[in-house]
Structure 1
Amino acid sequence: MNVFSVLMAAVAPGISLLAYFYLKDRYETEPIHLVGKLFLCGVLLVIPAMVLQNSFMQEIGGDNHFTFAFFISGGLEEFLKWFVVYHLIYRHDSFDEPYDGIVYAVAVSLGFATLENILYAFANGISMSSLLMRALLPVSGHALFGVMMGYYLGKAKFMRSQERKYLLASLFLPILWHGAFDYILLVAANNWIWFMLPFMTLLWIRTLWKVDRANDRSPLRVVRGEEEFKIG
């Protein structure tokens, strides 16, 4: 495969998943330039994340699978993504319904996953089988962790009485799931598929349920319903 083909193959899964979750917004899609900005921020996070991970591995080592999975890999990556979404979009006027948190968190997560995929492709080469495997596992994994992050950010913003609790959930639950994902791959190196298949199935089921729940809680649902009633 030539350079352009490899690049397109590495980018396609992230863009496809972003489009999927973007279009799942039932009531008011987000400004595309803002989604693109968050996606680019996710891309830009990869290099500092790699630098910090290498520093931590030199300081504390990466031999302990639990430490690597939950702190050096999952913990650091999800914290950086959460930090960007919280500081750039949480108070933004465009974040005006619970599902918006999902869109923006997924955009950052898939920006991160896309550059990771590109670096992997150029470092290791890419085949149809490896492309499919990475689309089903690390790329979709980042998207699903982003849905979880965004879902609880949406709850935090629109349930102010429990804002602190849901903000903590928006950070620590993605870390927990991301860490578990990495831990399975590290510990079950030879038979990981038997653990990863039910893990990803459960994660997808929970994700789709959260997508529906976030849409159902949109304040725009009532407004649109009233408009349709008047028109009818």
Structure 2
Amino acid sequence: MLVILSAGFAPGLALLSYFYLRDEFESEPVSFIVKTFMYGAVLTFPIMFLQYVLQAESIIDSPWMNAYFSAGFLEEFFKWFILFFAVYQHVEFNDPYDGIIYGASVSLGFATVENILYLLAHGVEFAIGRALLPVSAHALFGVVMGYYLGKAKFAGQQSKLKRIYVSLFLPFALHGTYDFILGTGRNWIFYMIPFMLFLWWTGIRKIKSANRLTSTHYNQKELNKKMSI
């Protein structure tokens, strides 16, 4: 049991530490990061219940609907809902890069509980594959979601709504595509490898861009402070 818990927690904590350490400016309080991680962890159970009902009642009856609605839309919508309504307005969300930290935190809370439940059901021998694919994918969906929410919070009113919309739509589309690839049959790995490379490339670009936006944000704050003196 201890081995499974360790294997289940390790990839999520490692990825969250990576995104936390990539913040080039003001570090976020660990207590609030843990809180957002727990938000994501608690989300796992109602989402899994809804997914079970949809399958048991045959409401979802096609691979496309299962990938894009049951997995992609439901999971990303609830993560986005928590991030937008419980974190976005919080005082600790005070620069663009914070969106990436908190987006990854909520996503990895969900992914970690899902990972532990999977390993309990199927065995610890799946731990490496789970770390490389679903846990990493969830983290990167959260990075993309948080990046656009971070841009939205410090954007003008006209572009704010567009970026909020993109912060939900893009992770949903990426997540749905990920699950659709998994359901393509025996050759799914040949599609998944380039897709995961694309996800990591996208995530790293968003991290670099968010740090540049944060630098501009702090420079503007300093300029405003000098002008007000």
**TM-score of the pair, normalised by structure 2:** 0.92
**Aligned equivalent of 1:148, options 144, 150, 153:** 144
2:202 corresponds to = 206
User: Shift in Å at residue 222 of structure 1?
Assistant: 2.2
Give per-residue Cα distances to partners, 1:61-113, cap 9 Å, x unaligned: 33301101000111100000000010111111111111101100100000000
User: Shift in Å at residue 9 of structure 1?
Assistant: 1.0
Is 1:51 matched up with 2:49?
yes
SS in 1 for 2:124: coil
Note if contact 1:27-1:220 (Cα within 8 Å) is conserved in structure 2. no
Structure 1 unmatched runs, 5+ = 227-232
Is 1:184 matched up with 2:174?
no
Task: Give the alignment of 1:69-80 within 5 angstroms.
Answer: 69-80=67-78
Mean CA deviation greater in 135-144 or 155-164: 155-164
SS in 2 for 1:98: coil
| Distance (whole Å) between structure 1 residues aligned to residue 97 and residue 118 of structure 2 | 31
**Aligned equivalent of 1:157, options 141, 153, 156:** 153
User: Shift in Å at residue 224 of structure 1?
Assistant: 10
SS in 2 for 1:177: helix
1:12 corresponds to = 10
2:128 corresponds to = 132
| Distance (whole Å) between structure 2 residues aligned to residue 25 and residue 17 of structure 1 | 13
2:169 corresponds to = 172
Give per-residue Cα distances to partners, 1:126-171, cap 9 Å, x unaligned: 12xx211111100000000000000000111111331110001000
| Distance (whole Å) between structure 2 residues aligned to residue 225 and residue 60 of structure 1 | 57
How many residues in Structure 1 have an aligned counterpart in Structure 2? Answer: 221
| Distance (whole Å) between structure 1 residues aligned to residue 88 and residue 2 of structure 2 | 36
2:22 corresponds to = 24
One-letter code aligned to 2:170: L
| Distance (whole Å) between structure 1 residues aligned to residue 217 and residue 29 of structure 2 | 16
| Distance (whole Å) between structure 2 residues aligned to residue 95 and residue 141 of structure 1 | 23
2:101 corresponds to = 103
| Distance (whole Å) between structure 2 residues aligned to residue 17 and residue 224 of structure 1 | 30
Task: Give the alignment of 1:211-226 within 5 angstroms.
Answer: 211-218=207-214, 219=216, 221-222=218-219
Is 1:63 matched up with 2:61?
yes
